[in-house]
Structure 1
Amino acid sequence: MTLTQRLRDAILAAFVASALAFPLLGFETVDAGGAMLGIETRFSWIGYAAVIVFFGRLGLMGFFDWWRLRQGRPEPAESKAPAKTDFLTRLGSKADKWLMPALIAFAVILPMLPFADRTVVDLATVVLIYVMLGWGLNIVVGLAGLLDLGYVAFYAVGAYTYALLSLNFGFGFWQSLPLAGLLAATFGIVLGFPVLRLRGDYLAIVTLGFGEIIRIILLNWTDVTRGSNGITGIPRPTFFGIPFTADPPEGQRAFHEIFGLEYESIHRIIFLYYVILVLALVTNFFTMRIRRLPIGRAWEALREDEIACKALGINPTNTKLTAFAIGAMFGGFAGSFFATRQGFISPESFTFIESAVILAIVVLGGMGSQAGIVLAAAFLTLLPELAREFALYRMLAFGAAMVLIMVWRPQGLLSHREPTIRLPPRPKARESGGE
């Protein structure tokens, strides 16, 4: 890109920024005394915004042009060396060999580390919830190539299933967990049937509508879901029937009494952390195993080309339905854990923004990359927490970071995917003078 083109683009960006900043930054309401409000102008802020965007755009274009030139630089012909790849690409190619085991080992020992206080463990639990949701949605989006913007609906179904079963029928967490997954998978099949003939944007719109339908039902079916008041008093899971309370019910001993420990509330936090860690690892193990089965290869064939998939004799109807059902099942498991961890759920916990964040984790991590989803979930979960001190600009920083990463790595952080199956090498042709 020439310097003239860069200047033209930067001026256009500054003009757009000025137009957006005029109503947002150009005016401020002030107290004019009594019950009156006055308006003050801050037109200088508009100029500052335009200048910052102008030079920022110039700098970004220069940086990314340099980056693309560096990545596409040819090697000397005589060396016959393969083209250089960046660090994240090399990391993605080795993710299954050592990155995932390293991440799992770190997750296992995290609560035992010196800096792992209550806040750290609780935040790590939230990260693992989003990791599990990302791995579940990865089946639908990353493997089967079906764009789903309503995944939060299955999350909500799992949460409300456990809450209602535990409060109305006395079911425990471990009893409700498979039922929550089964009911969420049923809703996945219900969603799958109407969208069998849809692709791309049309599929996204229908799934978005499905997610909103579930949220509106939860909001208005007050006799069952208690509407906007939500459900409170959801029971916590126990350790093989052993509670984590300071004052256990009569005839029972608490966790700290059985193991001879002094009571600390962090014991329950650590237990919940290991519960979601086990659920996430089961999700990952199941996904990695099923990818190598015929149904997993059918998902990937459907993602690459549905017409070719039909030509190979694969039934796209069954393939799509299984992807929706299995992905929804893991969303239901995560929702059930979310309900027991929070102790309170309401429809406000399952808005479209949750679906957008989960989809962003899958896309940002790299479509089909299990390790990439872990990194993306940690990034998108921790960044808003780290920027919490800047409350006014927290979401601005969140959005800007996402834009920068997607411009820098449009294919995702770890875009490398190992082939599900490798063909054996072709045998060498026999020489004409051979046997």
Structure 2
Amino acid sequence: MILVFPIVGIRIIKRAPEFFYDRVLVIGAITFVLAVLWSWYFEVYKDRDLSKGISSQVSRKFSALSEKITNDKNTALKLILVLFIVFMILPVFTSMYQTTVYSLAFLYVMLALGLNIVVGIAGQLVLGYAAFYAVGAYTYALLNQYLGLGFWTCLPIAGFITVIAGLLLAFPVLRLRGDYLAIVTLGFGEIVRLLLINWANFTGGNRGIANIPRPGLFGLELSPEASTIYIYYLCLFAAIITIIIVARLINSRVGLALQALREDEIASEAMGIDLRKIKLSAFALGSCWAGFAGVLFAARNSYINPTSFTFMDSAMILSMVVLGGMGSIVGVALAALVLTLLPEYLRAFSEYRMLIFGLLMVTMMVFRPQGIIPPAKRKYYPTALQNEENS
């Protein structure tokens, strides 16, 4: 109650503090009841088989469902087809605000899957991923402002420049791992943000860059509503292309090398994998998708400034990867949609929605630490056994 009092119990109205003790008391009562239930649950099942516990049963059923989705191609294709149809017709039945929110959710799907290449597949902890997002957005904004280049011309250029930025970060940290790598990448993210703020003559500083043009459709002039729907479909198809390419990457030779790097660097190097080349590939691929997402973000908002690319954005994207299941495509995409849309749909509880959001994340980490839908385990069969099964 003491910790939440400055956040929930005080509000400044007309430069005078107003206190809300009832809210703090309600939070204290709810926390007390939950703590008692938590202690009772573990006390009851302390000397029993935990497999009979409610959380374990729910986790097992959820695991069976996630394994069916990841292992059964027919189930996965049906789920993808249903979601595709829903998202295709969504702008017809929703408002412009909802369409804008969903386009942002698709951008976060791209960002989460891009970071999933580096963190989930390659096992390299990166905390400054929003820096590549900013590089892509500012590349489009600055090229348009100073050279008059359009969206479709800047899209591949931004991808190339973010790849260069990813390689510039990867070269100095090739020998780092774990916490040290995380600290360096966090510093890189802050360097990019402060550079955008202080280089005001070129980037606009805290004012940002406004009037960024949206992409055109075969030279046609689009109304604001039509432009919003057009951006929505661009973000949707960009997310679909990202999912397809990352899925192909996982099962490719490069993807298998990245997974070997994640499991054991020494063993993978002993098996002939070039760690230098593979790490550079991971950073280049992950940063490339952040650059594409940054261009779409700048075109969607028509305005960017450095506050759109803070450490909290990097932490949110990393939360999507961890919550969805590191290395999983379906899980990470689903977590990106949930973590982007959930705060918007909890606006009815505007004063408590972040508490609800945090409670859901803590509950997920306690009862489902492997993620919503963890990646399917690769199975290998001996040649003789495989021939026997085929016969």
Q: Would you say same fold, with TM above 0.5?
A: yes
Contact kept, 8 Å, 2:59 with 2:368, in 1: the verdict is no
Query: Does 2:73 correspond to 1:90?
Result: no
Q: Which runs of 5+ in 1 are unaligned?
A: 1-17, 75-82, 246-264, 430-435
Aligned counterparts of 2:100 and 2:326: Cα–Cα separation in 1 = 28
Contact kept, 8 Å, 1:29 with 1:38, in 2: the verdict is yes
**What's the offset of the Cα at 1:243?**
2.5
Contact kept, 8 Å, 2:216 with 2:222, in 1: the verdict is yes
Contact kept, 8 Å, 1:71 with 1:84, in 2: the verdict is no
TM superposition score normalised by structure 1: 0.79
Aligned counterparts of 1:193 and 1:386: Cα–Cα separation in 2 = 42
Contact kept, 8 Å, 1:93 with 1:418, in 2: the verdict is no
Evaluate the alpha carbon distance shift between residue 49 and residue 127 of structure 1 in structure 2; reply closer, same or farther with a 3 A threshold: closer
User: Match for residue 248 of structure 2?
Assistant: 289
1:426 to 367, 383, 388: 383
Calculate the aligned-residue CA RMSD, in Å.
3.0
Query: Does 2:51 correspond to 1:72?
Result: yes
Aligned counterparts of 1:65 and 1:408: Cα–Cα separation in 2 = 17
| Aligned ranges 1:14-93 → 2 under 5 Å | 18-21=1-4, 42=21, 49-62=27-40, 72-73=51-52, 86-93=60-67
User: Match for residue 262 of structure 1?
Assistant: none
Opposite residue 383 of structure 2, the aligned amino acid is R
| Deviation sequence 1:161-215 (CA, Å, 0-9, x none) | 0111122212111111111011111111111112111111111111111101000
Aligned counterparts of 1:64 and 1:122: Cα–Cα separation in 2 = 44
Evaluate the alpha carbon distance shift between residue 239 and residue 40 of structure 1 in structure 2; reply closer, same or farther with a 3 A threshold: closer
User: Match for residue 319 of structure 2?
Assistant: 360
Q: Which deviates more from structure 2 when the two are superposed, residues 109-118 or residues 299-308?
A: 109-118
Evaluate the alpha carbon distance shift between residue 38 and residue 365 of structure 1 in structure 2; reply closer, same or farther with a 3 A threshold: closer
Aligned counterparts of 2:263 and 2:30: Cα–Cα separation in 1 = 42
Aligned counterparts of 2:103 and 2:7: Cα–Cα separation in 1 = 37
User: Match for residue 13 of structure 1?
Assistant: none
Aligned counterparts of 1:22 and 1:105: Cα–Cα separation in 2 = 45
Aligned counterparts of 2:43 and 2:234: Cα–Cα separation in 1 = 46
Q: Which deviates more from structure 2 when the two are superposed, residues 351-360 or residues 195-204?
A: 195-204
User: Match for residue 343 of structure 2?
Assistant: 384
Query: Does 2:127 correspond to 1:149?
Result: yes
User: Match for residue 290 of structure 2?
Assistant: 331
Aligned counterparts of 1:132 and 1:205: Cα–Cα separation in 2 = 24
**What's the offset of the Cα at 1:110?**
2.7
**What's the offset of the Cα at 1:46?**
6.2
Evaluate the alpha carbon distance shift between residue 230 and residue 64 of structure 1 in structure 2; reply closer, same or farther with a 3 A threshold: farther
Contact kept, 8 Å, 1:100 with 1:371, in 2: the verdict is no
Q: Which deviates more from structure 2 when the two are superposed, residues 61-70 or residues 224-233?
A: 61-70
Evaluate the alpha carbon distance shift between residue 274 and residue 63 of structure 1 in structure 2; reply closer, same or farther with a 3 A threshold: farther
TM superposition score normalised by structure 2: 0.87
**What's the offset of the Cα at 1:105?**
4.2
Aligned counterparts of 2:11 and 2:226: Cα–Cα separation in 1 = 49
Evaluate the alpha carbon distance shift between residue 62 and residue 121 of structure 1 in structure 2; reply closer, same or farther with a 3 A threshold: farther
User: Match for residue 371 of structure 1?
Assistant: 330
Paired residue secondary structure (2:220): coil
Evaluate the alpha carbon distance shift between residue 329 and residue 72 of structure 1 in structure 2; reply closer, same or farther with a 3 A threshold: same
Contact kept, 8 Å, 1:368 with 1:417, in 2: the verdict is no
Opposite residue 171 of structure 1, the aligned amino acid is L
Evaluate the alpha carbon distance shift between residue 388 and residue 40 of structure 1 in structure 2; reply closer, same or farther with a 3 A threshold: closer
Paired residue secondary structure (2:251): coil
**Which is bigger in relative contact order (C-alpha 8 A, separation at least 6)?**
2
**What's the offset of the Cα at 1:45?**
6.9
Evaluate the alpha carbon distance shift between residue 346 and residue 46 of structure 1 in structure 2; reply closer, same or farther with a 3 A threshold: closer
Q: Which runs of 5+ in 2 are unaligned?
A: 387-391
**What's the offset of the Cα at 1:90?**
2.3
Opposite residue 174 of structure 1, the aligned amino acid is W
Q: Which deviates more from structure 2 when the two are superposed, residues 360-369 or residues 283-292?
A: 283-292
**What's the offset of the Cα at 1:418?**
4.3
Structure with the greater alpha carbon radius of gyration: 1
